């Protein structure tokens, strides 16, 4: 059950006004509440990491690992990954050794061999297709690639259209298939979008891929003993891109991941005398944290509110309460 944004805002205002401390506007509250929610959300992972190191109680409702996992569960997502790097080119004319060069594939093309029957073909991190009667067919005749420039050896009698698909580089999911909700990779999160936070497990055909570091990834297929296969896929993740081997993998890749909480929003309309009137769903967005976090949410918002209205007593009182809560949770 989510924490109602209206209840939290009214409680914060009640505490501040009771002591004649001051007032925070809806805009200040929304920004503060969103930051507080993110603070608590990120703390879940630090707390879980700590709890994994200590023995847990076997009693119902007292296992902290299970409790933290329950709090994280609403943010777990699953999505399909796709080859995200392809580009279409035309050869400039007819004749032998026609050239074209992909300049915006986002990767350096690695060329081993053109013929799939050649053992070095597996080193290619791309595939080359030629348009034939409106359909792209993989091109396996002789060609070379140097500095991302393709040279087609055959005598071409027409101006041909080609497609280069950089294998192994996948986009991260654009839709959470569990809820059919769009995923964004920016901070502009609205009520109808999930924001990507942390990558989880990568699978190919339901087989979990092993995560490698960059140097391991590029060196692993130098030996037949360690070379990945479709039964033992590997990947590395860097700068929002997912690289997979073997390069024969081009579909059926899925990623589990954690999304961010949605930005909190207390929406309003203006009354006849200029007062703020709460505007409920869909214009407002509740906290997505577990209902058990409501006291912690209010306390932390009060801390930030004290900073906003420059009241050291509010800051001190809220800070002491936050510290005591953290001690209680970790003791």
Q: What is the pLDDT of residue 316?
A: 66
**32, 130, 274 from 24: Cα distances, Å:** 10, 63, 16
Q: What is the pLDDT of residue 178?
A: 93
**pLDDT tens digits, 269-287:** 999 998 899 999 788 999 9
- Whether residue 317 has pLDDT greater than 90: no
- Whether residue 130 has pLDDT greater than 90: no
Q: Of the ranges 55-59, 66-70, 158-162, 163-167, which is most confident?
A: 66-70
Q: Could you tell me if 112 and 129 are in contact, meaning their C-beta atoms sit under 8 angstroms apart?
A: no
Look at 88-97, 281-290, 306-315 and tell me which has the smallest mean pLDDT.
306-315
- Whether residue 208 has pLDDT greater than 80: yes
Q: What is the pLDDT of residue 33?
A: 95
Q: Of the ranges 61-70, 155-164, 257-266, 299-308, which is most confident?
A: 257-266
- How many CA within 13 A on the CB side of residue 38? 16
Distance CA 150, CA 153 (A): 10
Neighbours of 80 (CB within 10 A): 16
More confident call, 62 vs 181:
181
**pLDDT tens digits, 5-38:** 999 999 999 888 755 556 788 999 999 999 999 9
Average pLDDT for 78-88: 78
Q: What is the pLDDT of residue 203?
A: 96
What pLDDT band is residue 89 in, cutting at 50, 70 and 90?
confident
Neighbours of 267 (CB within 10 A): 19
pTM of the model: 0.72
Q: What is the pLDDT of residue 228?
A: 92
What is the pLDDT of the chain when averaged over all its residues? 83
**21, 72, 137, 265, 271 from 281: Cα distances, Å:** 30, 24, 51, 10, 18
Q: Could you tell me if 198 and 210 are in contact, meaning their C-beta atoms sit under 8 angstroms apart?
A: no
Q: Give 127: exposed, middle or buried? Use CB within 10 Å, 0-12, 13-18, 19+.
A: buried
Beta strands at 268-270 and 253-260: parallel, antiparallel or unpaired: unpaired
Look at 21-30, 60-69, 197-206, 211-220 and tell me which has the smallest mean pLDDT.
60-69
């Amino acid at each position: 059950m989510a924490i109602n944004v209206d209840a939290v805002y009214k409680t914060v205002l009640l505490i501040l006004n009771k002591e004649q401390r001051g007032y925070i506007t809806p805009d200040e509250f929304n920004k503060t509440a969103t930051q507080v929610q993110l603070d608590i959300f990120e703390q879940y992972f630090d707390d879980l990491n700590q709890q994994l190191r200590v023995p847990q109680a076997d009693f119902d409702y007292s296992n902290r690992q299970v409790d933290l996992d329950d709090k994280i569960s609403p943010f777990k997502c699953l999505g399909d990954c796709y080859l995200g790097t392809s580009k279409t080119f035309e050869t400039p004319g007819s004749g032998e050794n026609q050239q074209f060069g992909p300049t915006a594939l986002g990767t350096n093309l690695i060329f081993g061999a053109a013929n799939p029957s050649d053992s070095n073909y597996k080193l290619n991190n791309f595939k080359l297709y030629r348009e034939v009667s409106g359909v792209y067919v993989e091109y396996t005749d002789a060609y070379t690639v140097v500095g991302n420039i393709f040279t087609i050896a055959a005598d071409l009698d027409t101006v041909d259209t080609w497609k280069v698909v950089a294998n192994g580089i996948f986009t991260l999911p654009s839709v959470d298939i569990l809820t059919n909700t769009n995923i964004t990779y920016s901070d502009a999160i609205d009520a109808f979008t999930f924001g990507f936070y942390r990558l989880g497990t990568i699978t190919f055909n339901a087989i979990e891929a092993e995560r490698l570091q960059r140097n391991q990834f590029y060196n692993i297929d130098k030996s037949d003993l360690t070379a990945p296969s479709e039964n033992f896929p590997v990947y590395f993740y860097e700068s929002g891109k997912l690289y997979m081997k073997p390069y024969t993998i081009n579909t059926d890749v899925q990623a589990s991941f954690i999304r961010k909480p949605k930005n909190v929003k207390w929406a309003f309309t203006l009354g006849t005398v200029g007062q703020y009137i709460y505007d409920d769903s869909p214009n407002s967005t509740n906290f997505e944290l577990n209902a058990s976090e409501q006291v912690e949410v209010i306390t932390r918002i009060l801390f930030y509110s004290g900073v906003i209205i420059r009241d050291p007593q509010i800051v001190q009182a809220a800070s002491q309460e936050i510290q005591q809560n953290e001690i209680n949770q970790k003791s």
